[in-house]
Structure 1
């Protein structure tokens, strides 16, 4: 029995080492194959740029292509992760993604990377993802594997975008952003009024941002919004949806208005008048007093209903 245990103790680490070496060798061969194919079929830069700009003419992509958020009193905007993915796919010969390297109690270690297989330019970012999130001022811990996976994917999206944009030429990215803006402002068949109404509805349903809060930020009524204002709403919505900013970064929540002293005094007077009216009505119903004409008639010897000239 002891010999069997000793044998298993000796063999299991060897088997683990062999499996690890096999996996490493297989991954290395896959990388070599990708590099070989990239060298055999290099990208056509002009054709890749045309494909990227054609993709940016799609309305569905243009609506989620740009994010915007405030920082230090200024506004920062740029291509979203969705646009970065489309650029990488159409640029060609790029390997990119997010990998979970290690999962420890309460946290995961992950890596976002983008690798141009033709030029051998590589960007990667290693980061730690806590298995928790903050909601309504409280820290909630994640235990479901699916929730942990989604948390790693969401946190890795911003790093992945940075990696992709780090290896794509800047002028290509700028051209894609401008093409998306043209799509949003020029190729819309739905009336601007209806689009703005849908945007206001989406803000209220998803982030509880009212029309008054939006109008307060822009400084004028929604009826006066232009195409550029609508584009700005889309950027803010994408920023909130991607977690790049919070509602408080963009909008001021309405404070509860306290009634003024004059309003309080008026309300108190109204209450006093109401009490006095009720009291007078009760006295009138309980004891009916004669009016001045009836008293004068009795003093002159006339009964009610008799006139002095009869």
Structure 2
């Protein structure tokens, strides 16, 4: 199940079948939910967003190297690289645009799976983007010796929580972006790329060297980077840096494996260990 909806939400109504449920608790909770939803809509209408200020706040945020360095993700699919804005950038854009409520909910948990929901609600426009999906309590793991991939069932509450949060976060990113104006998102992406390209106080060469050091901590050598780049790292430009930062973020968060990005004749012990331990999750 993987339903995506864009709807105009209505204020919750006090109806439904509540057999075997404490009616007093239901009435209190229903009244609270109605009042809360109405209050949010009223406040959003009373204090509408200033779009000019929102664009200014977005540009200021995207000019920060700390955000720009975490603004993009990358992963391989069918021989090509898929990339886009991360959940971190999406959350920051929602903050700048204002009057946006978003989140994830676990609707139910049974038989080794969770029914989840990711949503984003533009309170001012009263438009909500919702995605319901089923997330199995399992992940793909690769055996270090046999190189075979198997399905591991998750039983630890912590593992189940982290797995649900990870998969829901990806849907949440898409829901937030769905309620934001396209030109607002596009300008944010361009501004982050300009920041990564050197429109700040740190020289591009220094940031490339820092990137190589961080890759080496994951077991990816300069030679492996240059083989993928097909030229020396000294010739990297801002677009190259943005692409490799996306790859680095994907590896660091365990979303992809080293072998998905880099070719090598002999892989380092560190890289082999990290590669084998990385969770092979479907994005």
Query: What TM-score do the two structures reach when normalised by structure 1?
Result: 0.71
Contact 1:102 1:109 in 2 (8 A): yes
Q: Distance in 1 between matches of 2:53 and 2:67?
A: 20
Structure 1 residue 200 corresponds to structure 2 residue 212: yes
Taking the TM superposition and a 5 Å limit, the aligned residue runs for 1:120-159 are: 120-136=126-142, 137-159=149-171
Q: CA deviation at 1:245?
A: 4.1
Within 5 Å, give how 1:266-277 maps onto structure 2: none
- After superposition, where does 1:28-177 map in structure 2 within 5 Å? 28-136=34-142, 137-177=149-189
Write out per-residue CA displacement over residues 42-96 of structure 1, whole angstroms, 9 at most, x where no aligned residue.
1111111111111111110000012233434443322111110000111111110
Does residue 183 (structure 1) correspond to residue 195 (structure 2)? The answer is: yes
Aligned 8 A contact 1:240 1:247 in 2: yes
* Deviation of the 1:188 alpha carbon: 4.3
Higher relative contact order (CA 8 A, sep 6+): 2
**Structure 1: distance between partners of 2:217 and 2:111:** 36
Shift of 1:170: 0.4
C-alpha offsets along residues 124-146 of structure 1, whole Å, 9 cap, x if unaligned? 11111222222222333323322
Match of 2:233 in 1: 222
Q: Are the structure 2 counterparts of residues 166 and 242 from structure 1 closer, same or farther at C-alpha, using a change threshold of 3 Å?
A: farther
Greater alpha carbon shift after TM alignment, 194-203 vs 110-119: 194-203
**Structure 1 pair 15/242, CA: closer, same or farther in 2 (3 Å)?**
same
Alpha-carbon distance in structure 2 between the residues aligned to 1:139 and 1:15: 38
**Cα pair distance change 1:142/1:39, threshold 3 Å:** same
* Structure 2 counterpart of 1:252: 263
- RMSD over aligned Cα atoms: 2.4
CA shift digits 1:182-237 (9 cap, x unpaired): 1112244444444333322322323x323222111111233333343222211211
User: For structure 2, which runs of at least 5 residues remain unmatched after alignment?
Assistant: 1-18, 143-148, 268-283
Structure ID, larger Rg? 1
The separation in 1 between residues aligned to 2:185 and 2:99, in whole angstroms, is 17
Cα distance in 2 for partners of 1:192, 1:49 equals 26
Q: 2:38 & 2:136 partners in 1: Cα distance?
A: 34
5+ residue gaps in structure 1?
A: 1-12, 257-310
* Structure whose residues are more often strand by fraction: 2
CA–CA distance in structure 2, aligned partners of residues 106 and 76 of structure 1: 30
Structure 2 vs 1, CA of residues 28 and 146 (structure 1 numbering), >3 Å: closer, same or farther? farther
Tell me the TM-score normalised to structure 2 length.
0.78
Figure out how many residues of one structure are paired with residues of the other and give that number: 244
> Which of 215, 220, 244 is equivalent to 1:209?
220
